[in-house]
Chains A and B, each alone.
Chain A
Amino acid sequence: MSQLPLRAQLASALGRTAATLSRATGRGDGSVIGGRVGLALEPDLLRQLAQNRRLALVSATNGKTTTTRLITSALQELGDVATNAFGANMPAGHVSALSSSKDAPYGVLEVDEKYLPEVIDTTGAAVVVLMNLSRDQMDRAAEIWLLAQKWRRALAGRNTHVIANADDPLVTWGASTAASVTWVSAGQPWKEDSWCCPECGGPLDRKGLEYVPPGGHVSGVVGQASPDENDWACRECSFRRPQPSWILDGEAVVDPRGRRWPLDIQLPGRANRANAVIALATAEAFGLPVERALPRLREVRSVAGRYTTVEREGRNARLLLAKNPAGWLEAFDVLDPALPVILSVNAQGPDGRDTSWLWDVDYRVLRGRPVYVTGERKLDLALRLEVADVPFQLTDSFVQALAAQPPGKVDVIANYTAFQQIRTEFGRAV
């Protein structure tokens, strides 16, 4: 952006230098430190860097990084795109991303749920993408109803276009103060945080679906719900699911003109098909039609280590990241039932220090396959599996768990820092 004021140009350049130094000295990928240096010199830097570009902000509890990547890939069809591909999703990361692609006319930024109101306000982004809200790291994160309420306030009275998942009642409520919304039926397998109306507190009725208690008789496998099964309405007030214009229907997407496109993406699982439909709806808001966007989405094979395969001594481990109960439910859907699985759980700051959430995950779907347990909180997970009658083997480390496998394929599910530890062990696998 050549029209940046001198101070902002300097702040931006020094930030990039700090980022380069951080990478060169092996301290990190530089996406946070660079932004912090820039913001310290020019607090208005994010607003200035955001000017004169079309920005999409992407927020949700799960799928932010992957969807940001999918939208970025699609929009590259139109021109250069600035993006925080490494998941540094707070303002310092946004400064860093925009600063390192100064001339890109487009930007796609993953935004932490809590920071979204501030970042909408600062950047004046044209498009905001909202996918799902569920319980996550309760010891440090805000309550999700309060988050949705803050989204509503941030979007009210603005000329922002929102792409939102109509199947998630809390997301719908959070998005519905926006001037214009493209509603997408992207599904909502995890419903434990939305049995009550966000507007009035009354019970939500779901068409064709009786209340299924958590830990009830359903397995963790995510079914192929027909689009109608995603319908919901409050029994006591007028709040109900808006009519979606994009629909995820099994392996395909139905666009607003009723055309059906097989998704055929390389990223596995229902959650990624949902992310892809959201990405297609977002691309169209940027003027990019499905026929040009979809081939770009199909090129994405892994995202910052997610879904990548690492190899050691003939064992090929596919890495899945799951940080909360909704994420584990989606991860189970990706597992190959014929393969053993390694589970790794930590409880460091970024994971949430309270491991109680393990009890919200229904592990019974893992019965009948070899299960290996590791991570800093392996004993919490071991007891959880014991109570679920899932046989398991306790191992001291991921490497030991991998070595315990016969040569061949194995699936891995790990939460945030456990996942990063595995990536580091394998040279920051992407």
Chain B
Amino acid sequence: MPSDSVLRLVWIYPDLLSTYGDQGNVLVLEQRARRRGIPVETLHVRSADPVPESGDIYLIGGGEDRPQILAAQRLRRDGGLHRAIGRGAAMLAVCAGYQIMGSVFGGEEGQPVEGIGLLDIASGRGTGRAVGELVAETDPALGVPTLTGFENHMGVTRLGPGVRPLSRTVVGTGNGDGTEGCYAGKVIGTYLHGPALARTPGLADLLLTWATGTQLGPIDDVWFERLRQERLAATLPRT
């Protein structure tokens, strides 16, 4: 993104996948960019409309089984997201949106449904629902502090060699193998609601850094930090 231009956020399919406060990730990115003087434009793309290729950061959220399957079908048919990621755009994919980025995910009855193949992951349906607060230590290479959020899913996600775990779980289920989420290139996937970027604004700043190609200055994080400390204290086992 050239330094004088507008940061373009693209929210994919809020009509299908925005069931768990996913709008919050969009709002947090907007706020943290604007407070650093970066002008922002946000586009909401409905599932009947084409996904533009020219965005800087793409967001896709969580939802129920049926809309998840519809979203995967439409994204595959549309192809716009693939072209955008191919030319180096950043993305945050959450929960149902995270699962469809892989090769396969579990449908309404647990049957395998074809994903869109943007991340080297494969998901299926687990035996029980993972519901509750999650805390995880982020991959040190990312320079993002401890991840906190709320998970609510039945998914089990296996990471392939083409991705790295986003974090290692301290409390909670995440992918189901002791890791939570994954990343590859500028694409991040996570099971976390909360929403994730409100609970871990460092992740929002990472996406902004990737998209702008510049180091970002600090901003007033007092309310983010107070909420983080309260949630971490409430969730981590007392020592």
By a beta-carbon cutoff of 8 Å, the part of chain A in contact with chain B is 135, 138-140, 143-146, 192-193, 195-196, 201-203, 211, 213-216, 235, 353-360, 379-380, 382-384, 386-388
Contact = CB atoms under 8 A, between A and B. Distances in A.
Q: Chain B: interface secondary structure?
A: mixed
Interface stretch (B16-24, B116-124, B155-163, B167-175): B16-24
Contacts of B226: 379, 382-383
A379 B223 contact: yes
Would you list the 4 A-B pairs with minimal beta carbon distance, nearest first? A359-B24, A356-B21, A195-B15, A359-B21
A135 B19 contact: yes
A379 to B, nearest CB: 4
A138 B20 contact: yes
A360 B64 contact: no
Given A196-B70, A354-B150, A359-B27, A203 B65 contact: no
The A interface is mostly helix, strand or loop, or mixed, namely: loop
A211 B131 contact: no
Interface residues of B, number: 38
B227 A383 contact: yes
Contacts of A145: 64, 66
Given A196-B70, A356-B20, A203 B195 contact: no
Contact of A213 (B14, B152, B193, B223): B14
B227 A380 contact: yes
Interface in B129-179: 131-133, 150, 152
A139 B15 contact: no
Interface in B82-124: none
24 contacts: A139-B131, A139-B150, A144-B64, A195-B16, A195-B46, A196-B67, A203-B46, A214-B23, A354-B20, A354-B193, A356-B20, A356-B21, A356-B22, A358-B24, A359-B27, A359-B195, A359-B198, A360-B18, A360-B23, A379-B230, A380-B227, A383-B226, A387-B24, A387-B31
Contact of A356 (B28, B48, B194): B194
Contact of B152 (A138, A203, A216, A360): A138
Contact of B44 (A201, A213, A235): A213
Contacts of A355: 21, 150, 194
A203 B131 CA distance: 31
Contacts of A353: 131-133, 150
B191 interface: no
B43 to A, nearest CB: 9
